[in-house]
């Protein structure tokens, strides 16, 4: 009987010790669970970040390949545009030069009219027995740049550097203003020559 009890106790003790070992082992493993969860979450985050970086880099590379393809067209287009801008600039310069020479001729007409009017008024003043020098300022006030411009506008109405140009498109308008501003001071463009931009 003692032997049987001893075997039974030994068996139970063995199982108990196995269970105790298992609990200890599982307890130690269970204690690692919070740390392992944090490591797993960190690893998942890093994996997500790596995936996001990789996807973004691939997309960035695709976009930049397109950028390089398009940029390769820039030198030729810039050359073409520069040539056209230079041609338009030269044309504006020629127009402006001829316009200024025309204004000079109109100024000669104004000067002749001034001399004629002054002479007539001085003679009238002499005939009336008055000092003829008093009329010089009066006559001068009716002549000069303002009259020259008025005579030009009347003789050649609606002059515009950009006549018949479609200025509805903002880019076209900006380009035209930019080029024209390098030829004619902007205040002259808008006031002196009545250019509608």
pLDDT per residue as tens digits for the range 101-133: 999 999 999 999 999 999 999 999 888 888 888
| DSSP 8-state assignment for residue 144 | S
Residue 126: both structure tokens together? 């002499």
Torsion of CA 138, 143, 145, 151, to 10 degrees: 150
pLDDT recorded at residue 111: 95
Is pLDDT above 80 for 93? yes
Higher pLDDT, 103 or 6: 103
* Secondary structure of residue 161 in the 3-state scheme: coil
H-helix segments, 72-158: 74-127, 136-141, 145-155
At 97, the pLDDT band (50, 70, 90 cuts) reads very high
Residues 11-17: what's their mean pLDDT? 84
Residue 184 exposed, middle or buried by CB count within 10 Å (0-12, 13-18, 19+): buried
pLDDT recorded at residue 14: 86
As a whole number of angstroms, the distance between CA 94 and CA 90 comes to 6
Residues 16-58 have pLDDT tens digits of 888 888 888 878 877 888 888 899 899 999 999 999 999 999 9
At 193, the pLDDT band (50, 70, 90 cuts) reads very low
pLDDT more than 70, % of the chain: 91
pLDDT recorded at residue 195: 38
Nearby residues of 91 by Cβ (< 8 Å), 6 or more positions away: none
Q: How far is CA 130 from CA 31, 125, 138, in A?
A: 124, 5, 15
Is pLDDT above 60 for 190? no
Q: Mean pLDDT, the chain, as a whole number?
A: 87
The answer to whether 45 and 37 are in contact (CB under 8 A) is no
């Amino acid at each position: 009987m003692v032997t049987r009890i001893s075997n039974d106790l030994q068996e139970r003790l063995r199982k108990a010790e196995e269970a105790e070992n298992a609990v200890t082992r599982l307890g130690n493993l269970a204690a690692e669970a919070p740390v392992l969860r944090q490591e797993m979450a960190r690893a998942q985050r890093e994996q997500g970040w790596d995936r996001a970086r990789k996807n973004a880099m691939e997309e960035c590379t695709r976009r930049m390949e397109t950028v390089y393809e398009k940029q390769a067209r820039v030198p030729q287009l810039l050359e073409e545009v520069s040539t056209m801008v230079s041609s338009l600039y030269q044309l504006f310069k020629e127009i402006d030069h001829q316009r200024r020479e025309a204004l000079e001729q109109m100024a000669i007409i104004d000067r002749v009219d001034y001399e004629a009017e002054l002479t007539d008024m001085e003679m009238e003043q002499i005939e009336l027995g008055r000092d003829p020098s008093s009329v010089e300022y009066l006559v001068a006030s009716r002549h000069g740049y303002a009259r020259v411009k008025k005579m030009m506008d009347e003789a050649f109405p609606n002059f515009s550097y950009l006549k018949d140009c479609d200025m509805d498109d903002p880019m076209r308008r900006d380009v035209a203003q930019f080029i024209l501003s390098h030829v004619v001071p902007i205040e002259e463009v808008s006031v002196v020559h009545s250019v509608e931009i």
